[in-house]
């Protein structure tokens, strides 16, 4: 645990395996088989932290699907961004994309998804958790990260503390709030084994509605739609980037997310942009999406423009 004096505190009264401490993720260790991890909707995490003047990748609670009850043990200021999970403070509705004051004894509740899938709760200076290989991001299967450093989720009985006393509160420009509109168009950077897919398949990829399967988690999300055909069925395993869209033998693509395995051997069409990955993280099984091709350099320019929105003060 950190030796710095800690402030504030939330007592966890009810939780689920899908409530995780996350930050920007683990880097520089992927050659050891350690997954990237980190907040799936990194854009919402950035906003939650920005609202309090935190470093954008400070530790937050990633709340997937709700079912979380917290009791405030001290007065303080928190921020919420991302999905609308029917959050309330002592029964009063809390809207995401802003900071809010809490008083000792108040109860902070997350019910179920009303819009989007994942909400991000930030606290002044970030939540306190041990750094494991440079990050507190929780990965249960790797037994890395989280409050105890063993990858476990936020569990009932846990106490969450934060690292700074006073936040530098900010207000978001309404126009910058991500809207999570239905049937999003997700950009896919063309590459990898794209040339090994049939012409019909390449047409289908970008001209079909894809439905999100129930087999969806932080490792990857399976998409249902037309069957894609690739000349090769498997390859020698190689490193896989974030958002990679791989197509196993059944022809149904899988988007590989933050907790993906570090190497793999299925042919790929390329990889979603980070912005597309963040948007996908807000989709629930059964929702539809479309894929749109983008070239690497175009995507890089767009990504740098996106990042510039957090520079303004």
Partner 1 sequence: MRAPVPRLEVAGIDSLILRLFDSIDEGNMPWLLAASQRLHESFGAALIDLVPSYTTLLLHYDIQRIGAPQARELIAQAFADLQPASRSGGGCHHLPTWYDRSVGPELPLLARRSGLGEAELIRRHSGHEYQVFALGFAPGFAFMGLVEEALATPRLSTPRKRIAPGSVGIAERQTAVYPVVSPGGWNLLGRCPSKLFDRAIEGYSLLQPGDRVRFEPIDHAEFIRLGGDDSPLETSP
Among 34, 58, 117, 228, binds partner 1 (CB under 8 A): 34
Give the shortest CB-48-to-partner 1 separation in angstroms: 21
Asked if residue 144 binds partner 1 (CB under 8 A), the reply is: yes
Among 244, 257, 269, 278, binds partner 1 (CB under 8 A): 244
24 near partner 1, rule: CB under 8 A: no
| Site stretch for partner 1 (CB under 8 A), options 49-57, 86-94, 220-228, 233-241 | 233-241
Shortest reach from residue 273's CB to partner 1, in Å: 5
What Cα–Cα distance (Å) separates residue 45 from each residue in 28, 40, 82, 190? Answer: 21, 9, 8, 27
Among 142, 158, 204, 259, binds partner 1 (CB under 8 A): 142
| Residue from the set 19, 52, 242, 255 that interacts with partner 1 by CB under 8 A | 242
Considering beta carbons, is residue 26 or 118 the nearer one to partner 1?
Answer: 26
Identified binder of partner 1 from the candidate list 3, 5, 31, 171, rule CB under 8 A: 31
Q: Is 243 in the site for partner 1 (CB under 8 A)?
A: yes
Minimum CB distance to partner 1 smaller for 21 or for 108 = 21
**Contact, 136 vs 129, CB < 8 A?**
yes
> Residue 300 has which token pair?
């890089």
Our measurement of the distance from residue 237's CA atom to the centroid of its chain's CA atoms, rounded to an integer in Å, reads: 26
Instruction: Report the residue from 58, 122, 132, 160 that binds partner 1 according to the rule CB under 8 A.
Output: 132
Size of interface with partner 1, in residues (CB under 8 A): 44
Record the tokens describing residue 114, joined without a space: 């009303």
Stretch of 1-9, 49-57, 141-149, 159-167 lying at the interface with partner 1 (CB under 8 A): 141-149
Instruction: Tell me which of 104, 263, 286, 292 binds partner 1, using CB under 8 A.
Output: 263
Q: Which of 10, 12, 87, 190 binds partner 1 (CB under 8 A)?
A: 190
Cα distance between residue 210 and residue 226, in whole Å: 8
Query: Does the footprint of partner 1 cover residue 28 (CB under 8 A)?
Result: yes
Give how far Cα 156 sits from Cα of 8, 15, 140, 144, 260, Å.
18, 6, 16, 19, 27
Q: Cα separation of 227 and 197, whole Å?
A: 11
In the list 173, 174, 304, 311, the residue contacting partner 1 (rule: CB under 8 A) is 304
Residue from 11, 30, 98, 168 touching partner 1 (CB under 8 A): that is 30
> Minimal distance in Å, beta carbon 194 to partner 1?
9
Give residues in contact with partner 1 (CB under 8 A). Answer: 27-34, 36, 132-133, 141-144, 189-192, 236-244, 261-264, 268, 270-271, 273-274, 296-297, 299-300, 303-304, 307
């Amino acid at each position: 645990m950190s030796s710095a004096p800690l402030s504030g505190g939330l007592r966890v009264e009810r939780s689920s395996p899908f409530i995780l401490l996350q930050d920007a993720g683990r880097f520089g260790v992927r050659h050891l088989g350690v997954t990237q991890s980190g907040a799936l909707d990194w854009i919402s995490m950035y906003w939650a932290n920005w609202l309090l003047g935190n470093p954008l990748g400070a530790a937050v609670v990633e709340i997937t699907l709700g079912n979380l009850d917290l009791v405030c043990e001290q007065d303080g200021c928190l921020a919420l961004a991302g999905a609308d999970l029917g959050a309330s403070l002592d029964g009063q509705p809390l809207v995401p994309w802003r900071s809010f004051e809490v008083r000792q004894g108040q109860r902070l509740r997350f019910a179920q998804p009303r819009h989007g899938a994942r909400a991000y709760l930030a606290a002044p200076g970030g939540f306190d958790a041990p750094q494991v290989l440079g990050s507190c991001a929780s990965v249960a299967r790797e037994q890395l990260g989280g409050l105890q450093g063993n990858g476990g989720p936020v569990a009932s009985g846990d106490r969450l503390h934060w690292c700074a006393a006073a936040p530098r509160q900010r207000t978001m420009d309404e126009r910058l709030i991500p809207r999570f509109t239905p049937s999003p168009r997700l950009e896919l950077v063309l590459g990898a084994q794209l040339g090994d897919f049939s012409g019909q398949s390449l047409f289908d990829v970008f001209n079909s509605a894809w439905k999100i399967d129930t087999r969806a988690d932080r490792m990857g999300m399976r998409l249902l739609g037309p069957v894609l055909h690739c000349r090769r069925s498997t390859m020698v395993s190689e490193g896989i980037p974030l958002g990679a869209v791989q197509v196993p033998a059944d022809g149904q693509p899988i988007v590989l997310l933050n907790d993906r395995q570090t190497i793999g051997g299925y042919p790929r069409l390329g990889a979603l942009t980070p912005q597309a990955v963040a948007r996908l993280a807000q989709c629930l099984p059964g929702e539809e999406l479309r894929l749109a091709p983008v070239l690497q350099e175009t995507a890089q320019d767009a990504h740098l423009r996106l990042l510039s929105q957090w520079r303004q003060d």
